[in-house]
Amino acid sequence: MLALGAPGSDEVGLVGAKAANLARLAGACRVPPGFVIPARPAAGPLTDEVWHAVVEAYHALAAEVADPDVAVAVRSSAVDEDGDAASFAGQHATILGVRGETALRAAVIEVLASAVTPAAQAYRAAHNLPAEDVRIAVLVQQLVPAEVSAVAFSQNVVAGDPDEVVINASWGLGEPIVSGEVTPDTYLVSALEFTILRRDLADKTTMRVRTPGGVATLAVPDQLRRTPALADAQAVAIAHLACDLERTMGWPVDIECAYAGGLLYLLQCRPITTRAA
């Protein structure tokens, strides 16, 4: 197992692009701590040797964050995932709010298996990617108890404007934004002056939140449904982060982030698969 930020944790061929990008940025950004199960055949068994190493890494993470039963997010990081041609967004399993060894083992197995489902194989075929011997790493991170989550693009590819940052934001955890389960607020922020150009507020009816037993989908309180999920200063901070990461990574970025306890966390950074001219 490789802790995020440890030597080797930024090698795409070993941990996949998703984990490698976060490992590369862990020293400069507020990335939740975690570890990676190095890439392995998706269809192969989870051996006792590998599982014992996973348990040790989980307990080390629990000690690091001073929570013996730390809640984690378990996500895929296939070696050809989150590239500039294919993101695999929504194709592989993500399991949130996992606590304890038994739940962790089940989550890891589910994430591995998700790389060879018919839907994932069809996605591979559509993007001319190999469907045989699929190798996938598994990323395990402390789950941030997000009050607000956001997906941001450092360029407005829909409008063809590289000087606009597009932010989609909603209450709670970010998975419903990525999966399209909720209609988020949308913010356009100038990448030149970092001012709010436009905000479109959605009727945010549901949100996913961390609970003691995992995660739950709740109704958004009436007074928050059409309240901006992000304050202007928070939207501008996300825009700064996206633009800074574009310069650091050398390509336009698609990021996932969250606010918890007033702090901005980076949860994912990958290339925008369709870029502005």
- Per-position pLDDT tens, the chain of length 277: 999 999 999 999 999 999 999 999 999 999 999 999 999 888 788 899 999 999 999 999 999 999 999 999 999 988 766 555 544 555 678 999 999 999 999 999 999 988 877 777 777 667 667 667 788 899 999 999 999 999 999 999 999 999 999 999 999 999 999 989 999 999 999 999 999 999 999 999 999 999 988 999 999 999 999 999 999 999 999 999 999 999 999 999 999 999 999 999 999 999 998 644 4
Is 2-142 in CATH node 3.40.50.300?
Answer: no
Please tell me the predicted confidence (pLDDT) of residue 90: 58
How far apart are alpha carbons 237 and 172 in whole angstroms? 18
Please tell me the predicted confidence (pLDDT) of residue 83: 52
Please tell me the predicted confidence (pLDDT) of residue 277: 41
Q: Which residues of 13-48 are buried (b: 16+ CB within 10 A; e: fewer)?
A: ebbbbbbbbbbbbbeebbbbbbbbbbbbebeeeeee
Name the helix (H) or strand (E) containing 137: strand 135-142
Q: Which two tokens stand for residue 268?
A: 């994912």
Domain segments of the chain: what residues? 2-142, 148-271
Find all residues with CB under 8 Å of 226, minimum gap 6, and list them. Answer: 201, 202, 203, 204
Query: 148-271 has which fold?
Result: D-amino Acid Aminotransferase; Chain A, domain 1 (3.30.470)
Any idea which residue has 């700064």 for tokens? 240
One DSSP character per residue, 191-218 reads TTT--EEEEE-----EEEEEETTEEEEE
pTM, to two decimals: 0.90
Please tell me the predicted confidence (pLDDT) of residue 79: 78
Q: Which two tokens stand for residue 150?
A: 């956001």
